[in-house]
A and B are shown apart, each in its own frame.
Chain A
Amino acid sequence: MSKITELKNWYLDKFKDFENSLNGESKLPFHQTRIDAIQKFSDLNFPTIKDEEWKFTNISSLLNHNFKPASENVLEFDHSIIEKYLFDEKEYITIVFVNGVFSQKHSNIHSLGEGIVISNLKNAMVEHPEVIEKYLGKFAGYEKNIFTALSTAFAKEGTFIFVKENKIVEKPIQVLFVTSSNEEVFSSPRNLFVFGINSQAKIIESYVGVSDKTSFTNAVTEVILEMGAVVEHVKVQDESERAYHIARTEIDQERSSNYSSYNVNFGGTIVRNDLTTTFNDEYGFCKLNGLYLGKGNQLIDNHTLMNHAMPHCESHEMYKGILTDKSRGVFNGKIFVKRDAQKTNAYQQNKTLLLSEDATINTKPQLEIFADDVKCSHGATVGQLDKNALFYLRTRGLSDQQAKTILIYAFASDVVHSISMRQVRDHLEKLLSEKLLTADLKD
């Protein structure tokens, strides 16, 4: 039996255990989807570097591990350990998952107004079956994606946010996923965010690790913005340096909706983000901002797809990477403009700072434009720190490291400075400084 077949059998076995643990939940309609998804998982192949979409991201080391599904093993930890990742609990709504499993103990869901639901996905399957039926799995298809198939098969825990028409979630919602285990654990956070007509919300979705075991997070998030919804969505991935992090985010934008994404990556050994936004109606606006810092042997791969399926929509994309040591970055930014999507404005920028000779970046914009009355542009730059600026700062007394840190910081800061949540912005700036302090910035 080949190694891959063995690994698949391992996950198939784990699925049986999972199914047995479901009790009454297996009677819910969604369970049929799980069964279909595990079948797909069994049929599909893991991607290799022969697949165009995975050309620079070799995940064979991920396939050497037999990760155990979460719930089996939670390493208890004191609330104080994760406090540094949490924002002021009075000002934020906090929902925490440990190894992908909802943790009542660490969560603090409060002051939700009428028409606003924030809960574990599992509860939503019972309490809001019509919403689940309508949206869950409808945007993140698993037919061709083995990781989404795996996620769908194990879909049970994750954040369910449902904001009804005209409702505004006054407090930002923090969704925190903590990996904490003394075994090699596999978590499948499955999030569904549904924003009704003219609703508004701000979300900060963070992934952190508090133990140093190798772990695997396979996250899938579907975000639906109905007409006129306004959503700010920050995702911060700061898992341990032994974490594999594969995340897919699918955004459906309906008429005149406004979505801002901030995709920030600091942690992980191999990180792959697939983020797709589709304008399914006119006059949508979308901002995709990305920032990552690679150190050591990290590989950080961001694939984005900005899908202009309808006319009169506008998208702005800016991804910035900072690569030190032997780290590697991959950026693939697709912009599709469908034939009918006239009057599209789509801008994309990718900028990378390569801070060591051994660091590498593979960057590829991919514009496929089938409409003729559009404004689209893209640009990619790869560079080093400005030597003259470094010298200038040092003549003012700043150390080499300090001068570099300031310049890197300046490079990075415009990606996050438009985040409206001040605490989140401060947190990111602090995180970035900390990371830079421990990065090797010698040339």
Chain B
Amino acid sequence: MIEIKNLKVNVEGKEILKGINLTVNKGEVHAIMGPNGSGKSTLANVLAGREEYEIIDGTILFEGKNLLEMSVEDRAREGVFLAFQYPIEIPGVSNTNLLKNAVNSIRKYRGEEEIDAVDLLALIKEKMSLVEMNKELLSRSVNEGFSGGEKKRNEIFQMAVLEPKLAILDETDSGLDIDALRIVANGVNKFRSSENGIILVTHYQRLLDYIIPDFVHVLNDGKIIKSGDKSLALELEEKGYDWVKDQYAEMASA
């Protein structure tokens, strides 16, 4: 589905990603863990196409196509979805209006007809119940005045409506209480299928109790320094990141 090779990225002249290699196949869930400032959000944003980031080296193939050459919107239309760590508030634009435009842009790109109002509403209703989101939020401006938890739920709700091929969830679990976490995880698990892939950025193990990953990667200082299965997450929880860093340093010097 997505193949990232030797990705190096500068942010404001400073190298933040220092050669990332990561392949996600259909049906797989990859968790990316790592300390604050290690570059997790940078990676997520680069995949979504954020333009301020400077690609120094490397390639990204998405479904065989060169992702780095695509505009932000075309990536979305091809099926890449980013759930933001800090969802943006957009005063004056209602959630429904955003979804209508999003669904139709994606449909148009695929040569499909615009969704009619009744079908859109039905789709919205179905997906809202999935994340137990309050119907009132629909007519409100995007994320404006939403609580932290509501914002995160709204991201998952949008994902559910847009049905991407690859969902990148950037710390969707942070700031959620245990009930909200369960709801969000449930939404993600319902979305999970053999047809799509998920990159789950988090620095807590607790989300992974609800969404069981196939692979766990440790990102540190712009590099993936260790990969493993779900047991790696538990190990990290127990021992912290330092032992992985030490191990990596030893290997590097060997």
- Interface residues of chain A, those whose CB is within 8 Å of chain B, are 386, 388-389, 391-400, 402-403, 406-407, 409-411, 413-414
Contact = CB atoms under 8 A, between A and B. Distances in A.
B93 A395 contact: no
Nearest to B92: A410
Contact of A398 (B48, B51, B87, B102): B102
B60 interface: no
Given A394-B71, A395-B49, A400-B71, 17 more contacts: A386-B88, A389-B89, A389-B90, A391-B88, A392-B84, A393-B93, A393-B98, A396-B76, A396-B98, A397-B73, A397-B162, A398-B101, A399-B73, A406-B93, A409-B92, A413-B92, A414-B92
Interface in B145-164: 158, 162
Nearest to A401: B73
A214 B17 CA distance: 59
Contact of A391 (B50, B98, B158): B50
A395 B82 contact: yes
A395 B81 contact: yes
Interface in B87-140: 87-93, 97-98, 101-103, 105-106, 109
B208 interface: no
A406 B97 contact: yes
B90 A410 contact: yes
B72 interface: yes
A397 B92 contact: no
B105 to A, nearest CB: 4
A397 B103 CA distance: 8
A406 B142 CA distance: 12
7 contacts: A388-B88, A389-B89, A393-B93, A395-B82, A396-B162, A397-B77, A410-B93
A392 B72 CA distance: 9
A388 B77 CA distance: 19
Contacts of B72: 391, 394-395
A409 to B, nearest CB: 7
Contacts of A393: 90, 93, 98, 101
The list of the 9 closest CB pairs from A to B, nearest first, reads A410-B92, A394-B72, A396-B102, A397-B76, A392-B88, A397-B105, A397-B106, A394-B73, A397-B102
A437 to B, nearest CB: 14
Instruction: Please report whether the interface of chain A is mostly helix, strand, loop or mixed according to DSSP.
Output: helix
**Most chain B C-beta atoms within 10 Å of own C-beta, residue among A391, A395, A414:** A395
Contacts of A395: 48-49, 72-73, 75-76, 81-82
B118 to A, nearest CB: 21
A403 B93 CA distance: 10
Nearest to B102: A396
A392 B90 contact: yes
B172 to A, nearest CB: 15
Given A391-B50, A395-B81, A406-B101, A400 B92 contact: no
A397 B97 contact: no
A329 to B, nearest CB: 20
Interface in B30-55: 48-51
A395 B80 CA distance: 8
Contact of A399 (B50, B89, B97, B105): B105
Contact of B158 (A396, A402, A411): A396
A41 B159 CA distance: 66
A388 B91 CA distance: 13
**Most chain B C-beta atoms within 10 Å of own C-beta, residue among A398, A402, A406, A409:** A398
A398 B105 contact: yes
Contacts of B50: 391
A117 to B, nearest CB: 41
A389 B106 CA distance: 19
A291 to B, nearest CB: 13
Contacts of A414: 92
A395 B103 CA distance: 12
A394 B71 CA distance: 9
A383 to B, nearest CB: 13
A409 B109 CA distance: 23
B228 to A, nearest CB: 30
A411 B98 contact: no
Nearest to B143: A392
B73 A400 contact: yes
A391 B141 CA distance: 17
Contacts of A406: 93, 97-98, 101
B84 to A, nearest CB: 7
A179 to B, nearest CB: 33
A399 to B, nearest CB: 5
Contacts of B77: 397
Nearest to B168: A395
A109 B101 CA distance: 41
A400 B101 CA distance: 12
B106 A410 contact: no
B168 to A, nearest CB: 10
Contacts of A411: 92
Contacts of B88: 386, 388-389, 391-392
Given A388-B88, A402-B105, A394 B93 contact: no
